[in-house]
């Protein structure tokens, strides 16, 4: 029977188990977004025990940078550092991909306070030309990731960043073909995934889906299932199902094992690609049950592994 320690094939990748280190910003890059020794050492800690490392969100354009210490992937000069990072992350046997992000209205230096949706910013500030440039920046960053030796990329579509701002009816106030109706709000993420897929054929593409805004005015589960299906049809390999327009671990869900897993389970039934379940998972036995029951194909334990880099090794010995 398939369990948490069973290997899995995703696209061309063979993962040795189904434990994922989800993307988590460390703040360890330098002021120019460059890889540092500390950052490399950080990821090196996980390489021997997890199946898949998803390196933290990296900015695809300078104006899409979220905060100080964030990793960059917006220019070719960063490739040598990223090469070292990819090498160390993979050294112990893990597969490694990197998350690509544009913070949009949440970018460094903007006034957005998305926590209470009370902000000055408007998505209408992005011209159609600017949107084309953003699409292109994800594609170019994806190519850089592959050149650096990563085995794929994850497109960040959750936690209130740019792509989530487009998909959510709460934050999308555009009145053109990128706003209004659901079909129009998802146009940008679909364009990006389609283009990245065309340019990256040897690596896997994951999408971090904001499956719920945790707000009654937000995206519905039916809408997020439709988006998931459309992404799947474009040749996506992995759906990393998260949520929360205001952040990835909302206070009201704290303490619950697997707080976004119910959404992942729903989505898993709708798509053919593999699905990751995440949210508050600390107990390896619970994580294992999610995989043995077929609810999800892989599980991600974030803060549990941040607090204890030996979590995956301990999980393996506990489950054996």
Ligand X SMILES: Cc1cc2nc3c(=O)[nH]c(=O)nc-3n(C[C@H](O)[C@H](O)[C@H](O)COP(=O)(O)O)c2cc1C
239 binds ligand X (CB under 6 A): no
CB of 180 to ligand X, least distance (A): 26
Q: Which range in 109-117, 135-143, 209-217, 301-309 contacts ligand X by CB under 6 A?
A: 301-309
Site for ligand X in 87-126 (CB under 6 A): 99
CB of 208 to ligand X, least distance (A): 5
Q: How far is CA 9 from its chain centroid?
A: 19
Site for ligand X in 263-292 (CB under 6 A): 278-281
262 binds ligand X (CB under 6 A): no
CB of 274 to ligand X, least distance (A): 17
Site for ligand X in 153-182 (CB under 6 A): 156, 158-159
> Given phi > 0 = left and psi -120 to 50 = alpha, else beta, which region is 162?
alpha
Q: Which of 140, 185, 302, 311 binds ligand X (CB under 6 A)?
A: 302
Q: Which range in 36-44, 180-188, 263-271, 295-303 contacts ligand X by CB under 6 A?
A: 295-303
CB of 235 to ligand X, least distance (A): 21
List 156's β-bridge partners, or say none.
Answer: 208
137 binds ligand X (CB under 6 A): no
Give the x-and-dash track for 3-42 against ligand X (CB under 6 A).
-------------------xxxx-----------------
CB of 70 to ligand X, least distance (A): 8
Applying CB under 6 A, the residues found at the interface with ligand X are 22-25, 56-57, 99, 156, 158-159, 208, 242, 248-249, 278-281, 301-304
């Amino acid at each position: 029977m398939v369990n948490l320690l069973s290997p899995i094939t995703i696209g061309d990748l063979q993962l040795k188990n189904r434990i994922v280190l989800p993307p988590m910003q460390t703040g360890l890059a330098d002021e120019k977004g460059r890889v540092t020794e500390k950052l490399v050492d950080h990821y090196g800690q996980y390489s021997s025990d997890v199946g898949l490392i998803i390196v933290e969100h990296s900015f695809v354009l300078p104006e899409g940078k979220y905060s100080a210490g964030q990793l960059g992937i917006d220019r070719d000069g960063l490739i040598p550092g990223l090469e070292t990072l990819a090498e160390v992350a993979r050294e112990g046997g893990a597969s490694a991909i990197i998350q690509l992000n544009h913070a949009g209205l949440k970018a460094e230096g903007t006034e957005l306070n998305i926590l209470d949706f009370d902000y000055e910013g408007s998505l209408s500030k992005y011209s159609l030309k600017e949107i084309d440039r953003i699409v292109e920046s994800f594609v170019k960053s994806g190519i850089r990731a592959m050149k650096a030796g990563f085995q794929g990329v994850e497109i960040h579509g959750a936690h209130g960043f740019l792509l989530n701002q487009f998909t959510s009816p709460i934050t999308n106030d555009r009145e053109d073909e990128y706003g209004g109706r659901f079909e129009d709000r998802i146009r940008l993420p679909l364009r990006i995934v389609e283009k990245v897929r065309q340019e990256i054929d040897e690596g896997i593409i994951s999408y971090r889906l904001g499956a719920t805004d945790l707000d009654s005015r937000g995206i519905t589960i039916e809408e997020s299932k439709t988006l998931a299906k459309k992404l799947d049809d474009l040749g996506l390999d992995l759906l990393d199902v998260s949520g929360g327009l205001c952040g990835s671990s909302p206070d009201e869900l704290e303490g619950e094992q697997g707080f976004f897993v119910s959404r992942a389970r729903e989505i898993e039934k709708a798509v053919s690609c593999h699905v990751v379940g995440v949210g508050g998972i600390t107990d390896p036995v619970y994580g294992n049950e999610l995989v043995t029951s077929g609810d999800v194909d892989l599980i991600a334990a974030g803060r549990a592994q941040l607090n204890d880099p030996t979590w995956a090794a301990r999980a393996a010995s506990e489950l054996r």
